[in-house]
Structure 1
């Protein structure tokens, strides 16, 4: 049987970070994201994990006799979805771009404004034992926020969808990892 049981990954831990566009990553995978203060963690994530979606239009072209000869792709879009379980300043800023928080005499005042465009950089960091993977999204934006439940029977959570934009070289994201099974020859 081909394959190795060492290759599949079960990501047992994850963190999601946001920073202003253009923020540098830590120098290597051993360095914590917090070594670059601009990277802010969203805090606890839902056990449902993160999901990446792809969307694009395709047009098929056929030759005489109905033989498929080419497929044209256009309007490629990728996004990543995570559910944040904390109501901290980082999550508030992602969910309510352009809004403000002030604190005076122990009282926080959150002034929520109509969202504005707020492109940022993001990192999804995944851990499986000694294996770490950092997915660096240089340009992204929270474009969807799921319904927020306020009740005594469910945790308050913020499901956010980050739309990933390509850079000038058409790069959507870069994965960095220390997985010996994925080493290039």
Structure 2
């Protein structure tokens, strides 16, 4: 049986980081640092990546498929933040909303305005024992926030859907890892 029993991953932990678009990312072996801000605790449900695109099939006479044209490719990552902190507040409410604290009374005031489009950079770090994968999304935006429960029977959580935009060279994201099960394994190349 072909395969490597050490190659499958169960990501036992994760962190999501956010920074202004274009912020430099620390080298893989270094910890994330300012201006990168942690989103905080994430749901045990993990993150999910979704792909969406249109495709059109072209057939020759007789019904033989000869080409498929793909277009309108879109990727998103969805993750659920469990903390009600200022980083999450900024992500779900966008530019224009404010948070202030009256130092005399200790009262916090959140002024929520209609969200505006705000592209940022994201890093999703995943951990499986000593294996770490860092996914750097240079251009992304929170484009959807799930329903927020305000209840005594459910924990308040914020489901964030991040739409990933391509850069000038069509790169959506960059993955780095220290997974030695991939060393020396080449991806399948299309025929010339």
Same fold (TM over 0.5): yes
Q: Say if 2:60 is the partner of 1:26.
A: no
- In structure 2, the residue matched to 1:87 is 84
Counterpart CA distance in 1 for 2:171 and 2:182 is: 20
- In structure 2, the residue matched to 1:103 is 101
Counterpart CA distance in 1 for 2:163 and 2:92 is: 13
Question: 1:43-67: CA deviations, max 9, x gaps?
Answer: 0000000000000000000011101
Question: 1:74-108: CA deviations, max 9, x gaps?
Answer: 11000000000000000000000021101112111
SS of 1:73's equivalent?
A: strand
- In structure 2, the residue matched to 1:48 is 45
Counterpart CA distance in 1 for 2:55 and 2:158 is: 32
Shift of 1:69: 0.4
Q: After superposition, where does 1:30-179 map in structure 2 within 5 Å?
A: 30-33=29-32, 36-98=33-95, 99-105=97-103, 106-179=106-179
Structure 1: runs of 5+ lacking an equivalent:
none
Structure 2: runs of 5+ lacking an equivalent:
186-192
Counterpart CA distance in 2 for 1:70 and 1:47 is: 41
Counterpart CA distance in 1 for 2:184 and 2:59 is: 37
Give every structure 1 segment of 4 or more consecutive aligned residues whose post-TM-superposition deviation is greater than 2 Å. Answer: none
Q: How many residues align?
A: 182
Shift of 1:182: 1.4
SS of 1:92's equivalent?
A: helix
- Alignment RMSD (CA, Å): 0.8
TM-score where L is the length of structure 2: 0.93
Shift of 1:183: 2.1
Counterpart CA distance in 2 for 1:121 and 1:132 is: 19
TM-score where L is the length of structure 1: 0.96
Question: 1:131-175: CA deviations, max 9, x gaps?
Answer: 000000000000000000000111000000000000000000000
SS of 1:124's equivalent?
A: strand
